[in-house]
Amino acid sequence: MKASWTGVRVLAATDCGRADCCGAPAHAWVRVAAWSPKRAFLTSATPFVSAAGVPHGELAGVAFMAELDVTAPPGNANTTGERLEWPGLQLAPSIPEQSAGTPTVQMTASTLMPTGGPEVDQERARRLARALAPGALSVKTVIIPRTPPGKLRPRHTQDGHTYKADGDEEAATALYLRRAFRQPWGGNLAVGAVFFRPNRQRIDGDNLLKHVLDAGNRIAWHDDAQVTASYPVIELDRQHPRTVLVVARHVSSMDRSDVGAKRPRGRKR
C-alpha cells in the first residue's frame, strides 16, 4: 500500500434508509481526486460528519483530505454498497482570500528570514512553510550543506547527442533528498528554499530552484509539475554555503493529485 494525501470532496449527503448500503443513518457521494476526477463513490457520511463537525445535510461541497492508497481505487462493479475507510480524514485547509486593499500584517525581510547563521535554519524553514502553505500538516525540511548550484542548459556533442551538463550536481543534491524522502510525495506541493551562496556571483533564484526541482523528480515528488507554490530566497554566507529547503502539502484549485498516480490495470476505455 502506498498511502498519499489526496483531496476528497462531498458532492451530496442524504439520509440513507437502506440496510444494505453503509450501515449508517446517512450516506454521502464523494469524489476522490486521486482515484477519479469524474466518478463518485458512495460511502457512510459518519466520518465526514465527525471531521467537519456539522450535520450531514451541510456536507455538500465541503473539501477534505485523506491519506489513501492512490494506486488501488475501488472497482467499478458495485457502486451501491461500498464500505470505504477514510484514514486521516480532516478538513482541507482553506485558501486565504486575497484582499484588494493593504494587508493588515506586512511581511518584511526580517520577519520572513531572521538574521543569524545555521543555528536558525529550522526557524527559517518554519516561517517559509507558513508563508507558502498556511495550515499544512505535512512539512519536511532538508538542509543541503554545499554551495547551491544553478541549473545549466543541456550540452550537445559533435555527433548530435544531448547530455546534462549538471548531471553530477543533480546527483549530489538528489542524494540529500533521497535520505529525507522514503518515497515521492503525491498531490500538490509547495517548495521554498533559502540559498546561502559563498560569493556575490550573479545568479537568479529561479535558476537555483530549478536545479532543486529537477533533482527531486521521482525522489521527493513524482514530477515538479506538482509544485503549485514556490519561493526562492538568496542570501550570502561565505563560511557556511548551503540550501535550506522546505516541502509542504499545498492546497490549490489546480489539482495535481493525478501526477504520478498509477492507473489500474485493465482494458483501455
Separation between Cα atoms, residue 134 and residue 95, nearest integer Å? 8
- For all residues of the chain together, what is the average pLDDT? 82
Domain containing 163 — which CATH number?
A: 3.30.1330.70
The pLDDT profile of the chain, 269 residues, written as one tens digit per residue, is: 567 788 889 998 887 655 555 555 688 888 888 887 778 888 888 899 999 888 888 898 898 988 888 777 877 665 555 678 888 899 887 655 444 444 443 445 455 677 788 999 999 999 999 899 988 888 999 999 999 998 876 655 666 665 465 678 999 999 999 999 999 999 999 999 999 999 999 999 999 999 999 999 999 999 999 999 999 999 999 999 999 999 999 999 999 988 986 655 554 44
| Pair 85, 133 in one domain | no
**Total structural domains within the chain:** 2
For residues 24 and 82, membership in a common domain is answered with yes
9 and 64 part of one domain: yes
In this structure, are 35 and 129 located in the same domain?
no
Q: Is residue 264 part of a domain?
A: no
Q: Is residue 262 in a domain? A: no
Same domain, 147 and 185: yes
32: helix, strand or coil: strand
* Predicted TM-score of the model (pTM): 0.57
* Structure-block grid coordinates of residue 159: 555527433
83 and 170 inside one domain: no
Residue 102 within any structural domain of the chain: no
> Is the domain of 167 the same as that of 218?
yes
- pLDDT tens per residue, range 73-117: 877 665 555 678 888 899 887 655 444 444 443 445 455 677 788
User: 116 and 83: one domain?
Assistant: no
Domain that holds residue 27: 3-91
d(CA 244, CA 18): 54
Q: How far is CA 171 from CA 69, 128, 141, 174, 215, in A?
A: 29, 25, 19, 5, 7
Instruction: Let me know whether 48 and 123 are in one domain.
Output: no
Is residue 87 located within the same domain as residue 128?
A: no
What DSSP designation does 140 have? E
- Check if the beta carbon of residue 136 is closer than 8 Å to that of residue 165: no
Q: Same domain for 214 and 113?
A: yes
CATH code of the domain covering residue 26: 2.40.50
The helix/strand/coil state of 86 is: coil
Is there a domain that residue 62 lies in? yes
